[in-house]
A and B are shown apart, each in its own frame.
Chain A
């Protein structure tokens, strides 16, 4: 084994892994703690899960997070894919300008995007709440979908749609039966990025929300002032959920590829989230 020749590197790596996972493991362990303490484990219990379940504010925030993440993912994936196809056929100048604007939420610090959207809603006089949060999430998710679909479209033969239509397909058929299946991988990883971006978002949601509508991050932020082990409980569920999503996203393509006898492509979970 090559690694056995690198004791220093191995030690650094083990320490790094401990550093990355210690807080997560700690949180999971203390979510089962019998007492309120965040430092002494006094015994196993599920009381914090029970408390979480009965805490309407927490359950509502969980509900808001999931509903917004699902809606934002579905809408931004569809709109992003269609727009990316449209843009790829647009004039170069239009494409460049739109992609530049499209990059704003990705390149700008989140707080700037957040403030911009907040001012936008204030100026329009829209009451902030669930709808504004959803609109904001769609706004920052579409760019990631476009960014992950665009390279796949560019690698397609530009005459593909024309060929399909010459052979009698309607434009709609050319789109759904020919183009979309070819860029599936890009659409899929775009949707995955959109989902986790929306699910995890704090800063933008925090600025564009109102009327007590909170997602998970906002709830953790506002509750963090006092010791509340139920936060550990709900966080453990989040960790479990995201891990399942990622495992599914990584395993399904491998199984599919094995069935087809292909080598699995780049796994979505390995691309990192910032582009």
Chain B
């Protein structure tokens, strides 16, 4: 029924104003100098020059990419066995485990991150456990390790769910066939199961890496302001300093890095799934 198509008109207008225009504004602000009067802006590249000539900013960017990379690697290494166990459980157990993994992700992220402060603080459970090994006075809170734990904690469920989905979709008879043809457990895993689950790993990587690069609440809460990431710099520019033009250009740089990463990941995805495209 054609007349129902008119129902979409208000949303088309809304989407252009509330979703598209704000993105264009970031680009506009990034390439203009100060002055928030919409009619008096002047195009400039100064914001980008400022960013790329300041070693401090570059260091923060590098640090953000590094910690996001570490987070992603840990999430793959820990998430894969967990997802593997879930995927090869009976239907009933699998449903319960998936619910158990999903449930915490529905709880406020700030609240969950805040809870780690008590666990990691001086005299907390983790320090007491380390105390058994004679490492009782290791600083945990407000270190890179704490930020890393916070990030893995918040983002690993996405990795587990993605890998689990692709493992669950796998045709079980393929593994049986591999066994029948004489492959042992390890060979079957490396030659059959692992390659078939790679698309899940790849989409898990993008769901972990991207939020990790841009995170600013986790480094603030668990890094205690000493561990500054690119998200914190952006927050600072917008909330504290009020340098919207410079802040926009940093966001744009970050967004471009993310897009490049996504592109590479997609390439990898297409490669690993042998040109078979499942998600768009």
Contacts and interface: CB of A to CB of B under 8 A. Distances in A.
Interface of A: 2-3, 6, 9-10, 12-13, 16-17, 19-24, 26-27, 30, 38-40, 79, 82-83, 85-91, 94, 98, 101-102, 104-105, 108-113, 115-120, 122-123, 135, 139, 142-143, 161-162, 165, 171, 174-175, 196, 199-200, 202-203, 206-207, 216-217, 220-221, 224, 231-232, 235, 238-239, 242-243, 246, 250, 267, 269-270, 272-274
B85 A12 contact: yes
Contacts of A250: 99
A161 B2 CA distance: 10
A221 B107 CA distance: 15
For chain B, the bracket of interface size reads 35 or more
A2 B93 CA distance: 10
A86 B251 contact: no
Interface of B: 1-12, 14-16, 18-23, 25-26, 29, 36, 38, 78, 81-82, 84-86, 88-90, 93, 95, 97-112, 114-119, 121-125, 153, 157-158, 161, 207, 210-211, 213-214, 216-217, 220-221, 231, 234-235, 238-239, 244, 247-248, 251, 254-255, 258
A85 B247 CA distance: 38
A12 B82 contact: yes
Given A85-B7, A120-B25, A246-B103, A6 B85 contact: yes
Given A23-B116, A90-B8, A203 B217 contact: yes
B106 A200 contact: yes
A273 B12 CA distance: 25
Nearest to A21: B104
A122 B10 CA distance: 23
Nearest to B95: A270
B112 A86 contact: no
Given A13-B85, A109-B210, A235-B108, A269 B121 contact: no
A10 B97 CA distance: 12
Given A2-B90, A19-B153, A83-B8, A104 B23 contact: yes
30 contacts: A3-B89, A13-B86, A13-B97, A16-B101, A19-B153, A30-B118, A38-B117, A83-B8, A86-B9, A101-B20, A102-B19, A109-B210, A109-B214, A111-B235, A112-B255, A115-B26, A115-B247, A119-B244, A122-B36, A200-B109, A202-B110, A217-B108, A220-B114, A221-B221, A238-B108, A243-B103, A270-B98, A272-B105, A272-B157, A273-B106
Identify whether the interface residues of A are mostly helix, strand, loop, or mixed: helix
Given A111-B234, A120-B25, A171 B115 contact: no
Contacts of B82: 12-13, 16
Contacts of A217: 108-111
B18 to A, nearest CB: 4
A111 B7 CA distance: 31
Contacts, number: 250
A89 B125 CA distance: 58
Nearest to B230: A111
Contacts of A162: 1
Q: Which of A87, A115, A243 has the most CB of B within 10 A?
A: A115
Q: Which of A6, A23, A143, A238 has the most CB of B within 10 A?
A: A23
B4 A85 contact: yes
Contacts of A117: 18, 22
Contacts of B6: 86
Contacts of A123: 25, 36, 38
The 3 A-B pairs of least Cβ separation, nearest first, read A116-B22, A86-B8, A86-B7
A101 to B, nearest CB: 5
Nearest to B8: A86
Contact of B81 (A2, A12, A232): A12
A3 B95 CA distance: 14
Given A38-B124, A101-B19, A27 B1 contact: no
Nearest to A65: B108
Contacts of A113: 22
A9 B1 contact: no
Q: Which of B14, B82, B88 has the most CB of A within 10 A?
A: B82
Contacts of A88: 4
A246 to B, nearest CB: 6
A77 to B, nearest CB: 13
Given A112-B255, A116-B26, A139 B18 contact: yes
A23 B161 contact: no
A20 B107 contact: no
Contacts of A94: 5, 8, 12
